[in-house]
Structure 1
Amino acid sequence: MHDPYAVLRIRDFRLYIVARLSITLAMQIQAVVVGWQIYDITKDPLSLGLIGLAEALPSIVVSLYAGYIADVVERKKIIILVITLLAICSAALLYFTLNVSRVLTDFGALPIYGVIFLSGIARGFMGPAVFSFMPQLVANKQLYANAITWSSTTWQAASLAGPAIGGLIYGFYGVTAAYATDAALVVLSLAAFSFIKNRPLPENANPQNMLDSLKSGIRFVFSNQIILSAISLDLFAVLFGGAVALLPVFAADILDMGPQALGFMRAAPALGFVLMAVIMAYRPISVNAGKKMLWCVAGFGVCIVLFGLSRNFWLSMGLLALSGAFDSISVIIRSTLIHTLTPEYMKGRVSSVNNIFVGSSNEIGAFESGFTARLMGTVPAVVFGGMMTLVVVGITALKADKLRTLDLNPAQEAV
């Protein structure tokens, strides 16, 4: 009988959930505050795109090396070091807002971009380490889908609460209080990860030097049509459908609202994601998983198009929430098949390739959104992005026959 709470009975997985919840809340609060702060300083939508670029570029540059490191160094050690660096970044953003600091007065938004760049390096190392560490806490492969569902639900629950918390704290108590909350949550995450027991690296029957090891990870991804097509689909869908980066413009100029509304709008996709993920915890997808994934990415694209055209706050909220529900199915299917099809000793490297494709697509998509908004205007840029997502789905459906016919565990109950 399917037990939706199976992995939550594991002590270290519960600590992992607390740590993931805390760090995600912190990053989401930070994203809302940084976005509003920089737009308030510059009044330029392109500056919002540059936030994503400042974080994505260093993350992409270090990703392959980070994947190799995650396969040869104990993953918990990497995570502890990286979260410590993120805590320093949060402390720096907090310091910039204090009365004793004249950094922003003298240099404008540039110091904020510098901190985001440093956090991008940390994120590049954190992604492969966390991705490959999580299944070590579970051990039983039959629980992977359950673990991924709860891990994704936790991430999205924090993504739901974080922007709302960040917007409300910023709106009512100011930027310093918001960054102080961010820093405290990063420290809490560091403490939770510290209490998780160390796990030894998985045995590798064929150890290689760094260059050959990186090549083998890349070859594995590009030789597997299911993994390659799934992460490519997610890459281009998020790349073109990244309307979230422009939400400060919609909140301030199009819907004529404030930072509190921005927080709720940023939380709306996560609300849809969490509700769908909870449903999937009880009724996991198995039969026709590939087709359902394609239809859901298409639904995501349609939601983005309609959001771009909306002038009603509640309609916009509903469309953002629905886009999150569609995204939930796609993310859980993709993560499950990558964890299932990838050998344990190679998960760091495969995760690094996935991070280049998908992990940084939100930030690169943010830059694309900001750039196209500068060229053609905010609303046309969002509509164009949603339409391009639909084109990508169509091409993937035609070319990736193995993904189109993908089933997950046939023994599971179909949705």
Structure 2
Amino acid sequence: MQQSTGAAPTTAALIPGEQQRLLRHPNLPAFLGSRSLSALAYQMQTVAVGWQIYDLTSSPLALGLVGLAQFLPMVLLVFVSGQVVDRFDRRLIAAICQGLSALCALAFAVASFTHAITPAMIYVLIALFGTAKAFEGPSLQALLPGLVPAALFSRAAALSSSVFQTVTIIGPSAGGLLYGLGAGVVYSIVAAIFALASCSALLIRLRQPPRARDKVTLEAVFGGLRFIRSRPEIMGAISLDMFAVLLGGATAMMPLYARDILHAGPWGLGLLRGAPAVGALGVSIWLARRPIKRHAGLLMFASVAVFGLATIVFGLSTWLPLSALALAVLGGADVVSVVVRSTLVQLRTPDEMRGRVAAVNMLFIGTSNQLGEFRSGTLAAGIGPVAAVVLGGVGTVIVAGLWMRLFPKLRNLQRLDEEVA
């Protein structure tokens, strides 16, 4: 576990200069470039895939199956990927995975240009993409804590989140606009961006700590899960975030809402996809300048409740500006939960276990995102999209209240830097 490098007042006093020093760090720009370019390509591809498969099938269930196809490799590989990330060069793993993502996008482009694309082909390529993500996500998560001192990690995480949210705003809008030129055009650009992300990852020059080379045992494989279960505040934060997005996530329904409820084209889908990132960016910038200093646990629970309420508003809205505003509020609330969770997970985990813990964390995130999309799609096919989204938002609010009782240590969490110390 990383040690605190200073008391909270000292950290606050160093903030302006430290931010500039972080940006001048020889490895942080390369890390941010790799992560942000990968996120940009992912967002563009998500818009194209969502619109394309709904255009081919007009089925909410098909939208859900896209999420399931990406989720299954993550489940099957969660313990393998953690071991790999803890034993080998994390920078190289990220670069290889981003290269594989580029090849998947290139296959999408060729199939689209030749009009050979089918729903089955989309599911297979998304599953391959999910396989790459199963290794890329933990490797990038485990890299960041080694770039900055522990006392400044929450600020570096907020900075990384700001850059991430910026490209998450640009990506869906760009994907929606470029889709007007054809799906193949979008996928070709996505492939090029993933390739650039891979090159950026290779520019990171870290002196890697010695990697474990001992015999792989069941105890080592399941070490990440066991570690999380032994920390109730971490377990509570991860599971709360998982169930909130699993129940309240409405992203799978966005192509349906854009076309059939809000009567907008691909550009409308891009607007909806980018709206959560607008709110998240604003909150990320605020947290970078004013880190959470009191009532971190209560703020996390409040943000999850707001996330659920915003989901309900989105589900009921038939007006595009109101829908976009609800999604912006949703994104802003979500980033508070993300900052608290990521700070707890990253700073309280020993470096030699970060890959395994990050892999389990990615499984929880994948469960909430991709499996949440499958839940939304299947439920919408049965009771209708509006009822499915609203019911999910109500469930999120209920979970926030229930988790406050189940995890008192998380509820009573105060300053994140004090907890790290």
TM class, shorter-chain normalised? over 0.9
Q: Which residue of 1 aligns with 2:6?
A: none
d(CA) in 2 for partners of 1:102 and 1:311?
Answer: 33
Match of 1:121 in 2: 131
SS in 2 for 1:199: coil
Aligned with residue 158 of structure 1, among 135, 156, 167: 167
User: Do the aligned partners of residues 273 and 5 (structure 1) sit closer, same or farther apart at CA in structure 2, a change above 3 Å counting?
Assistant: farther
Q: Is the Cα contact below 8 Å between 1:6 and 1:146 reproduced in 2?
A: no
**Aligned with 2:369 (options 321, 344, 362):** 362
**2:400 pairs with 1:385:** no
Q: Does 1:221 align with 2:231?
A: no
Could you say which residue in structure 2 is the equivalent of 1:211? 218
Is contact 1:86-1:186 (8 Å) kept?
Answer: yes
Q: CA RMSD in A?
A: 1.6
Cα distance in 2 between the residues matched to 1:403 and 1:312? 37
Matched residue, 1:73: 88
Give structure 2 stretches of 5+ with no counterpart: 1-12
Amino acid at match of 2:157: I
Tell me the secondary structure at the aligned position of residue 11 of structure 1.
coil
- Cα distance in structure 1, aligned partners of 2:21 and 2:298: 28
- Secondary structure of 2:27's aligned partner: helix
Q: Distance in 2 between matches of 1:402 and 1:9?
A: 37
Counterpart selection for 2:154 from 145, 149, 174: 145
Please tell me whether the aligned partners of residues 87 and 211 of structure 2 are also in contact (alpha carbons under 8 angstroms): no
Checking the alignment, whether the CA contact within 8 Å between 2:224 and 2:356 is kept in structure 1 is yes
Structure 2 match to 1:103: 116
Give, in angstroms, the shift of residue 102 of structure 1.
5.0
Give the structure 1 partner of residue 198 of structure 2.
Answer: 190
- Give the whole-Å Cα distance in 2 for the aligned partners of 1:379 and 1:65: 38
**Bigger shift: 80-89 or 40-49?**
80-89
TM-score, with structure 2 as normaliser = 0.93
Q: Does 1:50 align with 2:59?
A: no
Aligned partner of 2:77 among 54, 62, 72: 62
Alignment CA distance shift 1:5-1:60 (3 Å): farther
1:230 CA displacement? 0.3
Using the TM superposition, give the Cα deviation of residue 137 of structure 1 relative to its aligned residue in structure 2, in angstroms.
Answer: 2.4
Per the alignment, residue 340 of structure 1 pairs with: 347
Question: Does the CA-based 8 Å contact 1:149-1:277 persist in structure 2?
Answer: yes
| C-alpha contact 2:40 2:171 (8 A) present in aligned 1 | yes
Identity of aligned residues (%): 39
TM-score (norm 1): 0.94
CA distances 1:236-268 after superposition (whole Å, capped 9, x unpaired) = 000011101101111100011100010011000
Distance 1:90 1:410 in 2: 41
Checking the alignment, whether the CA contact within 8 Å between 2:95 and 2:199 is kept in structure 1 is: no
Structure 1 unpaired stretches of 5+: none
Change in Cα spacing, 1:208 to 1:288, as seen in structure 2 (3 Å) is farther
Determine the C-alpha separation between the residues in 1 that align with 2:225 and 2:209. 20
2:242 equivalent to 1:235: yes
What's 2:143 paired with?
133
Residue of structure 2 in register with 1:399 after alignment: 406
Bigger mean CA offset, 48-57 vs 149-158:
149-158
Are 1:71 and 1:201, in contact at CA under 8 Å, matched by a contact in 2? no
CA distance in 1, matches of 2:270, 2:345: 32
1:258-277 matched pairs, under 5 angstroms: 258-277=265-284
More displaced 10-residue stretch of structure 1: 47-56 or 16-25: 16-25
Shift of 1:334: 0.6
In 1, are the aligned partners of 2:95 and 2:197 still within 8 Å (CA)? Answer: no
